[in-house]
Structure 1
Amino acid sequence: MATIDQREIEHARTRKPVRVHDPLPPSPLPSPPTSPSSRTTPPSLPSAARPAPAARQGERLAALDGLRFLAALVVVFFHLVGQVPATFQRIWGRPYQEVFPVAHSYFAFGRLGVELFFVISGFVIAMSGWGRSPRDFFIARVARLYPMYWIAVLLTALFLTTVDTPFGQPALRTVVADMTMLQTPLGVSDLSAVYWTLWPELCFYLMFAVVVWRGVSYRRVVLFCGAWTVAAVLAPAADNPLMTTLVNPVSAPYFIAGLAFHLMYRFRPSPLLWGIVGMSWLLAVQFLLASSGGRIDWQEWSPNKGALVLAVTVIFALVGAVALGWTRRITWRWLGTAGRLTFPLYLIHYSVGIWLANTFGRRMDPWLLVVGSTLAFIALSYVLQRYAERPLATVVRRSLRSAAWRGPA
């Protein structure tokens, strides 16, 4: 999942816009206006691309942090409460009708928390890439993703090796391949079921790096959204596995919508941007409702289709509220802490959580087990983020910044 840390916030506040040959030059990230009359906009800019009087960036990020933490919690409860019936019975040793007869049908939709992550990712990656060089963009992404991911892979491998779990012993090749975060193209299974989302993220970073290389601007982000939309539609029809793997048609609409929402926030909403969001929503719904090759395996889970459409609409609406500045009053500092816990919480909960349900599901109240486990995962996430991820990320960031990026003359 894409995340943005405090160093990136400070970078975004202080950096200067990149000069690019584009009729729609990037504006600095919004800052608190002194007065309406003090805000000037070049007359040559179309009104849709003029900087909007948005809320301060810290306020916006507080709302996004809250949404990220909400998405992580939803995914945790899906894995513990809302799994498909056959998987649920293997985990808990009895059917869901005996354990969570009412809650199961609601938390089954928690799998869509991943889609909320993807929309937020599009939003924050556009922000973090604005005004950055490809080198800085690369360093920021590597330092943000890999340290916590490496920690999670090693801890998960240690846990699966030393504890008798339903997953069995992990193969050494699986652990090694997963450390690269490239296990999907390598054809190696994920050590933890939640790792599958990282490949779409990496593909998004790789493709958006081209925009960063050229200089992120309103026009280039719009063109990128259009090109990716076309590629996502054509890839399945072209029957090209490489193109499909890179473009990720099922996930693409959410990232694209996030990019458009960021442009709305940075500049202003416009018919063009709403058109991008609308097309992304239509494609997202299409891939959800597809009988095959889509997001849902209808043989395992057959939810109400209207409820699916409503869930996707809510996901888009939540990030859209941030883009339109409706969340500017949300400035609670604890949301920043919650946002930093999102990635470790997402990475570490699955294997241990499933083992706890499988081992203690008949020995204690199920809700007490689920809530207690979730609180324990949150506490562990705080410890890992503060005392393991943060120091390791600092080392990685400093090492990459000090490295020679050019060969000898």
Structure 2
Amino acid sequence: MTQTDHREPAGTTTPSGDGERAARGVPGTRAVVGARVPEAGPPVRRDRLAALDGLRFLAALSVVLFHFVGQVPTTMETIWGRPVGTVFPEAHGYFAFGRLGVELFFLISGFVICMSAWGRTPRDFFISRVTRLYPMYWAAIAVTACVVYFADNPFGHPPARVLFANLTMLQKPLGVENLDSVYWTLWPELCFYLTFAVVVWKGLTYRRVVVYCGLWTVAAVLAPGAGIPLLTLLVNPPSAPYFIAGMAYYLMYRYRPTPLLWGIVAMSWLVALHYLLTPGGGRVDWDLWSPGRGWLILVITVFFLLVAAIALGWTSRLRWRGLTVAGTLTFPLYLLHDAIGVTVLHHFGDRADPWAMVGATVAGLVALSYVMQRFVERPVARAARRWLSSAAFSLKPPAPHR
């Protein structure tokens, strides 16, 4: 909603938009592969994929605008204090599609996490994920808690145990509500990291990533009917196809497109649409929105095509630094916008033109995200990385007392 320092060989991402360096390019040869399946090779390219940065920022922005303009009519009335028909009579239905920005986040995350983990040890992978997620997440929780507990906001005031559970980022398996609704995307990301860490531990190769994609696809399809809540909780069926397709796209980028990889992408696209369009069976109940389901198919298909264009190298000449800067703002913008923005609009939305209020609020949140990323997330993550890399966190047992 995916979300590192300059020493890392590649970028990272979350829903969450997860990856400050998300788009640093990687390895890879595009040479034709013969009978042998390609294995991991040393990185030979270090350029960033600016298109991924820009795409991730657009995904975050679409989610922001969804929360401010496109939510269900009852929620919009709570935020703005009047019926949505009097605020955004025409635009509301279109901005409802903004919530699909999360699916784009997951698609990019599969690409970028696979890219950033290549050639790393399990310990390096663990440190990179922890220091990428938790510093900004904890800072966002501090800000959100102030809004939720001390401001007159439309969210209510949850009990203190909700705050403590959310600090672990494990509120989903603990059965506790999210302090901010946008935090739900962090659990699918964590599950992806947890299971992918097994492949990192074995050593990333073309074959192992392909097998991992196949096993996760089977698990995502079987989980809903298996009657095993733990399996469903771990594999996240509605979200899984996007991560899987993202990894297949990365393999195309690192090596070359093959019928096998296109098959994984096509299967992921079909499964993703199944879960998206299943009434009450996926993440979104689109019957509460007015847009037609045909538009949903179109939007998701466009997302897959955009990441395909990056994987095929069609955007390699796009290197505008502004996209890179925008990419670094994605994670803080995603985490901070809901509690702050909705509260601001709730109190001041009737004092100016609604679109002017939305524009000013979004601009203010982007500025705040820059400050948080530059002066909080980056230095804290750097210090945490040094700390976790020190001997104090080695798995070797300490010397016994004498």
Partner of 1:3: 3
CA drift at 1:51? 9.2
Partner of 1:332: 320
Q: 1:242 to 1:375 in 2, by over 3 A?
A: same
Conserved 8 A contact 1:289-1:305: yes
TM-score (norm 1): 0.89
Conserved 8 A contact 2:62-2:98: yes
Q: 1:40 to 1:328 in 2, by over 3 A?
A: closer
CA drift at 1:169? 2.2
The reply on whether 1:278 has 2:279 as its aligned counterpart is: no
**What does the per-residue CA deviation read over 1:168-201, in whole Å, with 9 as the maximum and x for residues that have no partner?**
2232111111111000000111010100000000
**What does the per-residue CA deviation read over 1:133-167, in whole Å, with 9 as the maximum and x for residues that have no partner?**
10000000000010000000011101222211111
Conserved 8 A contact 1:51-1:267: no
Equivalent residue letter for 1:210: V
- The CA distance in 1 between the partners of 2:133 and 2:318, in whole Å, is 26
**Which stretch shows the higher mean deviation, 84-93 or 131-140?**
84-93
Partner of 1:17: none
Conserved 8 A contact 2:277-2:293: yes
**Residues 138-217 of structure 1: matches in 2 within 5 Å?**
138-217=126-205
**Residues 249-288 of structure 1: matches in 2 within 5 Å?**
249-288=237-276
- The CA distance in 2 between the partners of 1:326 and 1:55, in whole Å, is 19
**Which stretch shows the higher mean deviation, 393-402 or 92-101?**
92-101
The reply on whether 1:300 has 2:288 as its aligned counterpart is: yes
- The CA distance in 1 between the partners of 2:285 and 2:10, in whole Å, is 43
Secondary structure, counterpart of 1:326 in structure 2: coil
**What does the per-residue CA deviation read over 1:231-263, in whole Å, with 9 as the maximum and x for residues that have no partner?**
000000001111100000000000000000000
Secondary structure, counterpart of 1:69 in structure 2: helix
**Residues 306-321 of structure 1: matches in 2 within 5 Å?**
306-321=294-309
- The CA distance in 1 between the partners of 2:65 and 2:358, in whole Å, is 8
Equivalent residue letter for 1:149: Y
- The CA distance in 2 between the partners of 1:235 and 1:400, in whole Å, is 35
- The CA distance in 2 between the partners of 1:91 and 1:43, in whole Å, is 59
Conserved 8 A contact 1:65-1:338: yes
- The CA distance in 2 between the partners of 1:90 and 1:210, in whole Å, is 45
Partner of 1:20: none
Conserved 8 A contact 1:59-1:329: no
CA drift at 1:42? 8.2
Partner of 1:394: 382
Partner of 1:242: 230
Partner of 1:58: 47
CA drift at 1:41? 7.8
- The CA distance in 2 between the partners of 1:354 and 1:10, in whole Å, is 35
Partner of 2:120: 132
The reply on whether 1:372 has 2:356 as its aligned counterpart is: no
Secondary structure, counterpart of 1:8 in structure 2: coil
Q: 1:5 to 1:98 in 2, by over 3 A?
A: farther
Conserved 8 A contact 2:112-2:250: yes
Equivalent residue letter for 1:265: Y
Partner of 1:222: 210
**Residues 56-135 of structure 1: matches in 2 within 5 Å?**
56-60=45-49, 62-135=50-123
Equivalent residue letter for 2:167: M
- The CA distance in 2 between the partners of 1:55 and 1:228, in whole Å, is 30
**Which stretch shows the higher mean deviation, 311-320 or 91-100?**
91-100
The reply on whether 1:349 has 2:337 as its aligned counterpart is: yes
1:405 to 372, 395, 398: 395
- The CA distance in 2 between the partners of 1:268 and 1:51, in whole Å, is 13
Secondary structure, counterpart of 1:66 in structure 2: helix
- The CA distance in 1 between the partners of 2:54 and 2:323, in whole Å, is 5
Q: 1:58 to 1:121 in 2, by over 3 A?
A: same
**Which stretch shows the higher mean deviation, 234-243 or 287-296?**
287-296
Gaps of 5+ in 2: 13-24
Partner of 2:349: 361
2:36 to 45, 54, 58: 45
**Which stretch shows the higher mean deviation, 295-304 or 248-257?**
295-304
Gaps of 5+ in 1: 13-27, 34-38
- The CA distance in 2 between the partners of 1:407 and 1:59, in whole Å, is 39
Instruction: Tell me the percent identity.
Output: 60
- The CA distance in 1 between the partners of 2:348 and 2:89, in whole Å, is 19
Q: 1:56 to 1:99 in 2, by over 3 A?
A: farther
Q: 1:136 to 1:364 in 2, by over 3 A?
A: same
Equivalent residue letter for 2:2: A
CA drift at 1:11? 9.1
